Structures are given as C-alpha cells and as structure tokens.
Structure 1
C-alpha cells in the first residue's frame, strides 16, 4: 500500500467495521473500503464532492483528476440535485459505474449487480493459475475470459448485453486500477487482490501483509 502523499495526514487503517443497519454501499469495493474504515462517512451518506476527492487521494494516492471524475459522477447520481451530495448507493445504477462483466458481481440480467458474488470472484482468481502474483498479461487474460463468458451467457439466455466503448474502457480501467493500487508494473500479490475484492474490503489486512 502506497504511503499517503507528502503533506497529507496519516490515516488509521486499523479503524474498521462492517456496514450496519441503515448503512449503504456502492458496487465499488475500493470505495466501500473507505466507508468501512471511516475514511468516508461510515453510513455511506451525505458525501460531498470535495469530501470524496480528499478521501480517495489521501487514502489510496489517486490522481486528483481521476478522483474528481468519480466524485462528480457520484453527486450527479443523486436524484435530488439540490443537495450537492450523494450516498454510496446512489451510484448503484446499471451502466453508471456498475456494468456487465464485473469481476466480482453478477450481471444485472442474471441476479444482483451490486452484491459480492463468490462464484464469479473465485472464477476470476482461479484464472490466474498457480502463481503468487499478477502480470499485465495474466490480468488482461482473466478480464477477457470474463467478457467472453458474460457475452456467451447473455446470448444463450436471449438477454440484452451492453458492452460498448464506455464499458470496455471502464472494465479494463478497473483492472489497471487494482494493479496500480496493489502493485507495480502489473505485478501485484494475488493474495492482496483476493483481500481487496473478497474479504469485506478491509484495507488494514493489506497493510498487515506489506
């Protein structure tokens, strides 16, 4: 895990608790982790654009421009545009930030597109084979296999499949995101990938491994 940018305060990553009654979360594991750690409001509600940008940049060293893209999209997803804030579940809209071909969620035509899907995730992890770390090549391969599997399932079931330029950009961008967040030059410990996606999105677990 990268250190906070120079001049930014240290963050207590050991402060963690799962979402409770009334708390809301998004389809994005990384953003959910920030709420579980209290870096964003733990209830996932009332998040301003500035609040989101600050949390993302300080905690996972995001480029401010990229952080602003998510934050702007979050505020725009709130049906009440007069508030200038958003709740994490507001972005749980098909083809907003969530889309078909997720590595850890079911496609919306076949189930919940926001809840973690163990079967999909385990298929993704097994695609790397018997290795300890990712590469650009292996990460691209498992992403493509998920694309192929998703398209085939939609065709067999006669369901509409949406995977255009936007979805391609977002899906491969997500792969680049976890590779750069957890590793360098495409090499990320596979166990760290498993923790980020599959163990209740607990950033402190990753720090204990480093």
Structure 2
C-alpha cells in the first residue's frame, strides 16, 4: 500500500467484508465463499468476524478463512453450529476446555466455494480475542512496511513459518512471538510506525530458523 492510499478499516466485520469485496482475486473469492454459503447470516447472533491472513493479503496456498465468534455458552454454540452447518462439506466441530494459557473455545471447520473456513468461538467479545488483536496489529505493520512487508511475510510463511512467528522474525523480536505481537497491539500507530522504520524488511534475509 502506498503512502497516498487510505487504509481500509478492518475493525468491524462490515469493514472487512467491504475490503474483501473490492480486494484482489483471492480476497474477492473469499468474499464470494462467505456470501454464497450464508455463513455470516447463519452465525449472525454470534457476531462473526472474518479474520486471518486473507483480509490482510498475506495468505499462501492452503490458507483458510477464519471466522471469529463470540459465544457465551460454548456448548450451546457447538450444538447450534452442528444443527446449522452439520450437512456442509468437511464439517467438524470440537470444544476445547483444557489448553494451557488459553480460554476454552470451540473450533469448527467447513468447506465452501473452494475454501476451508475455520470458525472459532470464545466466551468473550471478538475484539478481546487474541486472533482479532493479532490481525489488526499485523495489518498496521504491513501498512507501514508497504509491499515489501507483504512479500517478506509471505516468503517466511512459504518457508514453513506460522504468521505470528514470521512477524516476530521480521521485526527481530525475542520471546514468545504470540505474546510479543499482543504487546505490540497495545502500541499506538505512531509507535508502530517508528518500530517499522527501525526494522525495514527485505526479502533477502537469511534463512529463518524453523
């Protein structure tokens, strides 16, 4: 993204959908998959928010569409999703209650329009969920980096790195990359711009540690 372009507002589901609808070929394909499947409407009571790598244009072959949801009663959510989506191709749904350091969640998956869609729900507002906060800070960093940032993160992901570790590597951050990205999510846009200026990316970096 050039300095003269306005950054799309990805803080709401409506903003993300608008961005996807007018985006690149992959983003428009994801938009069609979500619209034609009716997933946004079927999950409307749970405030579905399209997240992940596709909206911020760092997806690679095999990337899926993520839908974050808020569900106070996770057991009820799983039952509702099973009833509404159970006949869709590739349907799977699991309630996870014991994972160290992570609040209980439900994760479901379906296939539609050539995409795998992962539905993730926790008993907290979407805006408080780590995946939401990660995506927005990653989007801010990419906006400040420009096209080279997108190229470098894709390069690292194609080498086998997960998204958050790829950002942490590009930024030279130490420690748990997921926690480090959450720390950056609390920074102002000006602070993120300063960080990016101090850590310019290049696609000629050495092989990342995998």
- Specify if TM > 0.5: no
- Larger proportion of strand: 2
If asked which structure has higher relative contact order (CA below 8 Å, sep 6+), I would say: 1
- TM-score (structure 2 length as normaliser): 0.30
